[in-house]
Amino acid sequence: MTPSAILESALYVTDLAAAEKFYVGVLGLDLLGKVDGRHLFFRCGPGVLLIFNAEATRIPPAPDARLPVPPHGAVGEGHLCFAASADEIVAWKAHLGAKRIAIESEFEWPQGGRSLYIRDPSGNSIEFAEPRIWGL
C-alpha cells in the first residue's frame, strides 16, 4: 500500500490571531473552521492546511472524548510549500511586496523551477514553488 495524496498538512504557531490575519488577509485562504486558542483550518486547493497552537494540541483528549485525536505538536519553525506556476510566482512576489511581506529568498533550482520564500508571523518558512522542482 502507498498513500495516494496528502490530505492535510499542519503548522504550529504561537499566535492564532496573527496567523488568521496572515493566512486569510495575505495568502487569501478560506477559513473552514476554528476553535479559539486551539486551531484554524483552511481550504487550499483539494487539501486542507491545519494551523495549531501546539500548547493546546499537546493536551491528551479526555477518556470519553467524542473525537479522541491523539496529542501532537512541534517546537520551532516549520516549513510548508505552496505550488505555483512561474507566472504565479511573479504575481505572488508583487502581491507580497504590496502587503509589505519580506521575501527571504528567491532562486532557481539546478534541476529547473523557481522558489520564493517568506515567513509567517510565527516564523514558519512558507515557500511558493513550481511543481517541476520535484518533476511534477
Task: For residue 83, give the C-alpha cell.
Answer: 505550488
Q: Say whether pLDDT at 89 is over 90.
A: yes
pTM: 0.94
Determine the pLDDT at residue 3: 84
Q: Quick one: CA torsion of 70, 74, 78, 84, rounded to 10 degrees?
A: 10
Indicate if the pLDDT at residue 12 is higher than 90: yes
Domains, the chain, ranges and CATH?
Answer: 1-59 (3.10.180.10), 76-135 (3.10.180.10)
Question: Over the stretch 56-84, which tens digit does the pLDDT of each residue have?
Answer: 999 999 999 998 999 998 988 999 999 99
Q: H-helix or E-strand containing 94?
A: helix 86-98
pLDDT over threshold 90, residue 131 = yes
